[in-house]
Amino acid sequence: MAYEKELQVAQLAVARAAILTKAVFHEKAKGTVSKDDKSPVTIGDFGAQALIIAAIKHNFPSDEVVGEEEASSLREQKDLSSTIWNLVKDVKLDDPESDALLGGPIRSEAEMLDIIDMGNSAGGNKGRIWALDPIDGTKGFLRGGQYAVCLALIVDGDVKVGVLGCPNLPIDDREPLTEDMGAAASDAEGKGVLFSAVLGQGATSQPLTRRGASTDSTGVRPIHVSKISDVSEAVMCESVEPGHSSKGDNALIAEKLGITRKPVQMDSQAKYGSVARGAGDLYLRLPVRKDYIEKIWDHAAGDLIVREAGGQVTDVAGNRLNFGLGRTLTENKGVIAAPANVHAQVLKAVQEVLNSK
């Protein structure tokens, strides 16, 4: 099968990074720093980025990585850097064979900082480029909501492999979404799912932890978007953060489609995963600020997983997301993810609402 090793490395790397993010999730002090754009980053984001890039570079040394974070602030803040190093140096998968496949531990704090900075690829439509969001939904992570560890392989501009680790989503694909899913989330028993897809090979889910050769069964299940035929019965997913997508537009679109259920708000690409497994039906992300350009790491894995599960993902103009233009989705505005059979109907409602403004 194509991309077998890439998928295996991506799944194990995300699972290993999630061990670290789960530890930080339970800490009160998450080492939060404010970035230049005022958005937060934590020791969890930096640590997860280091672990995942180390695994990619060990297996595929000439591949590039477009990673969200960079180490410059850590080089100026020694305390923060050593706190992260203390977390990173001890993280291991249960299974020694899987751990060895990822190249074993990072050797030093200095090496860790250099590895974080290997996520500086400019992206583009040539060659093999991994898009990495070590913690997507950092605000949710800080609030105690949903978050996701996201990794995708883009080859010549096309997403070939996508993996999403969602520590706070239910393992069970059939568990319905609840309105408060985004709030007071936990990674207790029954939680933690890993979504994966390879282009042309479908999408799957499996438990995020207890993985590796020592487990009897990895519990891999194929996933599919919902079989919804009447869009008025749809469960719509949207961001928690009001600054990230327009809740007002979503309400107008829902009204146009006859949807009466309140939208489910949750942080991160957990929304793509939820639509891909049919727990939610639609994911709408309509811009609040005209000048905001979406980042490739916020969408690459989710886009492939939803499409491989039978969904369609476009921007508000109805175009596919273009991951080959650099670190951002410069040609796209907004995102509409829906089962293929209702996508056109939803897109029409979106355009009517946007055109009437």
Ligand X SMILES: Nc1ncnc2c1ncn2[C@@H]1O[C@H](COP(=O)(O)O)[C@@H](OP(=O)(O)O)[C@H]1O
Is residue 241 involved in binding ligand X (CB under 6 A)?
Answer: yes
211 or 297: CB nearest ligand X: 297
Contact 310, 294 (CB under 8 A): no
**Residue of the chain from 6, 63, 68, 109 that contacts Mg ion (CB under 5 A):** 68
Is residue 99 involved in binding Mg ion (CB under 5 A)?
Answer: no
Annotated binding site for Mg(2+): which residue ranges?
68, 133, 135-136, 298
Give the span between the Cα atoms of 234 and 324, in whole angstroms. 32
**Residue of the chain from 6, 63, 64, 133 that contacts Mg ion (CB under 5 A):** 133
- What sections of the chain are H helices per DSSP? 4-25, 43-59, 72-76, 78-88, 96-101, 109-116, 138-143, 247-257, 270-276, 300-308, 340-355
Is residue 295 involved in binding ligand X (CB under 6 A)?
Answer: yes
What's the DSSP call for residue 229?
-
Give the span between the Cα atoms of 51 and 16, in whole angstroms. 8
**Residue of the chain from 292, 319, 320, 344 that contacts ligand X (CB under 6 A):** 292
Write the DSSP string, 193-220.
Answer: EEEEEETTS-EEEEESSS-STTSS----
**Residue of the chain from 28, 289, 290, 357 that contacts ligand X (CB under 6 A):** 289
Annotated binding site: which residue ranges?
68, 133, 135-136, 298
Pick out residues in 164-203 that bind ligand X (CB under 6 A): none
Pick out residues in 25-44 that bind ligand X (CB under 6 A): 39
Q: Are strands 158-170 and 191-198 parallel, antiparallel or unpaired?
A: antiparallel
Give the span between the Cα atoms of 253 and 349, in whole angstroms. 6
Contact range with ligand X by CB under 6 A, out of 18-26, 85-93, 137-145, 310-318: 137-145
Catalytic residue (choose from 83, 138, 204, 209) = 138
Is residue 267 involved in binding ligand X (CB under 6 A)?
Answer: yes
In b/e form, how buried is each residue of 91-130, taking b as 16+ CB within 10 angstroms?
bebebeebbebbeeebeebeebbebbbbbebebbeeebbb
Give the span between the Cα atoms of 83 and 92, in whole angstroms. 17
- Minimal distance, residue 263 CB to ligand X, in Å: 12
Give the span between the Cα atoms of 259 and 344, in whole angstroms. 16
Write the DSSP string, 238-263.
Answer: E-SSTTTS-HHHHHHHHHHHT--SPP
Is residue 267 involved in binding Mg ion (CB under 5 A)?
Answer: no
- Minimal distance, residue 238 CB to ligand X, in Å: 8
Is residue 298 involved in binding ligand X (CB under 6 A)?
Answer: yes
Contact 70, 116 (CB under 8 A): yes
Residue type, 343: H
- Minimal distance, residue 131 CB to ligand X, in Å: 12
Q: Is 328 a catalytic residue?
A: no
41 or 153: CB nearest ligand X: 41
Is residue 294 involved in binding Mg ion (CB under 5 A)?
Answer: no
Q: Is 218 a catalytic residue?
A: no
What mask, x for binding Mg ion by CB under 5 A, covers residues 28 to 67? -----------x----------------------------
- Minimal distance, residue 14 CB to Mg ion, in Å: 13
Catalytic residue list: 45, 138
Residues at the interface with Mg ion (CB under 5 A) = 39, 68, 133, 135-136, 138, 298
Rule CB under 6 A: which residues touch ligand X? 39, 68, 133, 136-138, 140, 239, 241, 243-244, 267-268, 288-289, 292, 295, 298
